[in-house]
């Protein structure tokens, strides 16, 4: 029997099954029936990719349709009148500057459903016209106070309805991002009377936090790509993601300014964090187990650029990083105290401190390391005390360091420990009228050592991803 192409074989299997199947199940039946001639090591990944490309390229003209993540059926099974009502148009890329969280969008949609479009745009316009002066900045933190004081009429009513209707989650001052997501991605659409109405896509967004519509928006707005960058480079500071993020923006958008790229990066990290897909510890961002799972599934079924194996590779890399961090923590706890002080001196050197000096153990006056740091056009002296211990640092240690600043003509201090800090110590670190004392706990210390390549050697692992767009001229 003549062998079939992957897509012809998939079509035959689906016709015989009479119901949608996951791409893995389609592949298994194709191979069992010897319908294709495949010598590849990952035929399931190939089947995922080819079906995803076929759906993406042809849309409603494809033989196939996606019915769930990784699951495909035949287009002929869809009712002719409303085949895939939530299918995504071609939206382009990374359109929304101040990107909201999904929870914010989900809270606002029911409030704005049934509201005339001019009322929403009028409210936004009225708020934008309220400005302060350099001498008197406006405070927007209390909507209950500023809405009745600064707005009137329909704008005031809708602003208050937005604030109360979202249970205080969405400040009407910051709804531009919500409006752009809702309208750009057709979650809300005006009817013949110019009244905003919730669409099928909007209802899908509300009902399915990880559904097809959310995935469509994530892909268009760069969240999937950013999630991949965090998986590959994190845990790391957001600035470490900027180069890869800007390369993505250059490919899918007209954004070229670094300041615009930084802003979009921050708001999208905030969105991913709110969904539990990334986590922030200090200045570092890392991907979570849920984020890895979301990334793997999204790449397989949205743009055919990844496979389940990719997600497993990323999970193993994250696990290996965690093991390195644990090993570093154990080594720090066992270091000679003076060697630990020299390690901190080395860290300050690479962090652009000047004239770093590790003090003599016999006459340190409660200070272990001294250095100068440039703040704008000013250079100030900073004193550092290091504590190699497992428990929490308590308030008397901080008070003693603050009291010794004058002996070194220092303006501020830092305490670095392999342990943690008591609540009282944290509260006293930035007391009004007192010299500031920065607190670096064991977790933050390890982040800084890794960030500045002290105690670690980074080895490059190249993860190849399929660029499905290069093959979209042929099914």
Kindly tell me if the per-residue pLDDT of 294 is higher than 50: yes
Helices 308-334 + 223-233 axis angle, to 10: 40
Half-sphere exposure of residue 67: CA atoms within 13 angstroms, side-chain side: 16
Q: Decide which of 166 and 71 is more confident.
A: 166
pLDDT of residue 172: 95
pLDDT of residue 137: 63
Report the largest interatomic distance among the alpha carbons of the chain, rounded to a whole angstrom: 91
Tokens standing for residue 153: 């009429």
- For residue 415, list its beta bridge partners: 385, 439
Q: What is the pLDDT of residues 155-178, one digit of tens each?
A: 999 999 999 999 999 999 999 999
Kindly tell me if the per-residue pLDDT of 408 is higher than 80: yes
Other Cβ atoms less than 10 A from the Cβ of 274: the count is 14
Residues 186 and 373: their CA atoms lie apart, in Å, by 51
Half-sphere exposure of residue 369: CA atoms within 13 angstroms, side-chain side: 27
CA–centroid distance for 58 within its chain: 31
Residues 66 and 73: their CA atoms lie apart, in Å, by 6
Kindly tell me if the per-residue pLDDT of 396 is higher than 60: yes
For residues 291-295, average pLDDT: 85
Q: What is the pLDDT of residues 73-90, one digit of tens each?
A: 998 887 654 444 444 444
**Residues contacting residue 300 through CB under 8 Å, at least 6 positions apart:** 23, 48, 49, 52, 69, 70, 306, 307, 308
Burial of 273 (0-12, 13-18, 19+ CB in 10 A): middle
Kindly tell me if the per-residue pLDDT of 266 is higher than 70: yes
Helices 258-274 + 242-252 axis angle, to 10: 100
Asked if 167 contacts 147 with a C-beta cutoff of 8 angstroms, the reply is no
Residues 348 and 441: their CA atoms lie apart, in Å, by 15
Look up residue 184 and give its DSSP letter: H
pLDDT of residue 82: 45
Asked if 172 contacts 163 with a C-beta cutoff of 8 angstroms, the reply is yes
pLDDT of residue 305: 46
């Amino acid at each position: 029997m003549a062998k079939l192409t992957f897509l012809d074989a998939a079509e035959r299997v689906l016709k015989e099954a009479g119901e949608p199947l996951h791409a893995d199940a389609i592949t298994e039946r194709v191979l069992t029936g010897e319908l294709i001639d495949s010598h590849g090591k990952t035929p399931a990944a190939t089947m995922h990719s080819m079906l995803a490309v076929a759906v993406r390229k042809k849309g409603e003209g494809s033989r196939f349709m996606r019915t769930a993540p990784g699951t495909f059926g035949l287009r002929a099974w869809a009712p002719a009148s409303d085949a895939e009502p939530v299918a995504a148009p071609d939206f382009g890329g990374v359109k929304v500057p101040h990107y909201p969280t999904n929870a914010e969008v989900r809270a606002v949609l029911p409030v704005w459903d049934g509201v005339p479009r001019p009322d929403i745009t009028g409210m936004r316009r009225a708020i934008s016209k309220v400005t302060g002066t350099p001498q008197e900045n406006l405070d927007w933190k209390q909507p209950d106070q500023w809405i009745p004081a600064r707005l009137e009429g329909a704008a005031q009513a809708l602003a208050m309805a937005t604030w109360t209707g979202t249970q205080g989650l969405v400040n009407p001052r910051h709804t531009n991002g919500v409006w752009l997501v809702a309208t750009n991605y057709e979650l809300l659409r005006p009817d013949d009377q110019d009244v905003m109405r919730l669409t099928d896509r909007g209802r899908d967004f509300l009902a399915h936090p990880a559904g097809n519509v959310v995935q469509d928006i994530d892909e268009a707005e760069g969240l999937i790509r950013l999630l991949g960058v965090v998986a590959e480079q994190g845990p790391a500071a957001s600035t470490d993601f900027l180069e890869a993020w800007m390369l993505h923006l250059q490919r899918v958008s007209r954004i070229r300014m670094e300041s615009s790229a930084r802003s979009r990066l921050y708001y999208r990290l905030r969105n991913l964090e709110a969904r539990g897909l990334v986590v922030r510890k200090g200045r570092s961002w890392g991907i979570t187990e849920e984020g890895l799972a979301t990334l793997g599934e999204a790449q397989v079924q949205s743009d055919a650029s990844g496979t389940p194996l990719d997600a497993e590779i990323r999970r193993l890399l994250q696990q290996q990083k965690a093991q390195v961090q644990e090993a570093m923590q154990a080594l720090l706890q066992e270091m000679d105290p003076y060697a630990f002080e020299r390690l901190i001196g080395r860290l300050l050197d690479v962090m652009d401190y000047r004239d770093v000096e590790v003090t003599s153990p016999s006459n340190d006056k409660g200070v272990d390391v001294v250095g100068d740091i440039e703040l704008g056009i000013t250079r100030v002296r900073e004193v550092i005390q290091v504590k190699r211990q497992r428990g929490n640092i308590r308030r008397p240690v901080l008070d003693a360091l603050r009291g010794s600043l004058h002996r070194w003509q220092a303006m501020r201090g830092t305490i670095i420990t392999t342990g943690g800090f008591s609540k009282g110590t944290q509260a006293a670190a930035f007391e009004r009228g007192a010299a500031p004392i920065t607190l670096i706990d064991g977790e933050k210390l390890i982040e800084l050592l890794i960030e500045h390549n002290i105690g670690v050697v980074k080895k490059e692992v190249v993860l190849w991803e399929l660029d499905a767009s290069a093959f979209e001229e042929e099914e």
